[in-house]
């Protein structure tokens, strides 16, 4: 378990995800079985600290994508950015299998998958200042008021993300849920160690692939909100 350096004080851990069950096809199951020993990482809170250089086979700036879904956007960004390593973390096994399959098919040596709770990965296993960027694209909006405490962009988790970013590192978020976007903007502006790259919402980044969630939102007429903040 990682204990070195300052760790933000946080309330008792509240899960930011709802475990999903889904059937996994033969190709994804095969990819998990073959590739997980070399390309996969299981989040276990009492394990030794996360060693990115060992997992990727090289030292390089690391991008963490929280909630990588089926992996298409993560794989596309990794393919376009070979000088940095990308780690997609999720709890959805079929999605992780698909991410590994995409990595193999695309010959992406800079892409790996992590299975488990992203908050536990950040809190217990990653060193302060070890991340070049964190991406949180279209997280669960938990629209009911009683579930807002489960949102990933909330003060205690944002403080944790900020501590794991290097100085100058970037936190990028996107959502199609307007009330959540407002809360994101307020929460990120309130963090004393983060600085907005833009006055309010960011222009849509050209390097962020269109996800299935974004396509659904656009088809339904919903606006997409992007945010970009850096660690001071």
CA distances to 10, 163, 194, 204, 229 from 158, rounded to whole Å, are 10, 9, 9, 21, 11
85 is catalytic: no
Closest listed residue to residue 77, CA positions, set 211, 228, 192: 211
Closest CA to 174 of 125, 115, 229, 122: 229
Backbone angles phi, psi at 126, to 5 degrees: -105, 140
* Annotated active-site residue in 30, 81, 132, 140: 140
d(CA 166, CA 205): 21
State how far the Cα of 66 lies from the Cα of 87, in Å rounded to an integer.
Answer: 9
Alpha-carbon distance of 117 to 107, in angstroms, equals: 27
Q: How far apart are CA 29 and CA 23, in angstroms?
A: 10
User: Measured in Å, how far apart are the chain's first and last C-alpha atoms?
Assistant: 27
Tell me how far the alpha carbon of residue 117 is from its chain's centroid.
Answer: 10
Local structure of residue 83 (DSSP, 8 states): T
Residue 25, Cα to own-chain centre: how many angstroms? Answer: 24
The residues carrying an active-site annotation are: 140
């Amino acid at each position: 378990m990682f204990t070195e350096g300052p760790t933000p004080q946080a309330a008792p851990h509240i899960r930011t995800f709802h475990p999903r069950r889904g059937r996994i096809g033969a190709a994804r199951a095969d990819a998990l079985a073959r590739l997980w020993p070399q390309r996969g990482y299981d989040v276990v809170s009492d394990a030794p600290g996360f060693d990115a250089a060992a997992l990727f086979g090289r030292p390089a700036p690391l991008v963490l994508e929280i909630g990588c879904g089926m992996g298409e956007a993560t794989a596309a960004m990794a393919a376009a950015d070979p000088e940095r390593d990308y780690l997609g973390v999720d709890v959805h096994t079929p999605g992780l299998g698909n991410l590994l399959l995409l990595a193999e098919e695309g010959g992406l040596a800079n892409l790996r998958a992590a299975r488990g709770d992203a908050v536990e990965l950040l809190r217990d296993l990653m060193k302060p200042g070890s991340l070049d960027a964190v991406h949180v694209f279209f997280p669960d909006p938990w629209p009911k008021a009683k579930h807002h405490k489960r949102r990933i962009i909330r003060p205690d988790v944002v403080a944790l993300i900020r501590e794991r970013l290097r100085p100058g590192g970037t936190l990028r978020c996107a959502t199609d849920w307007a009330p959540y976007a407002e809360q994101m903007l307020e929460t990120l502006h309130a963090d004393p160690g983060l600085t907005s790259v833009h006055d309010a919402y960011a222009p849509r980044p050209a390097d962020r692939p269109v996800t299935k969630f974004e396509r659904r939102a656009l088809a339904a007429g919903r606006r997409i909100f992007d945010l970009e903040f850096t660690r001071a």
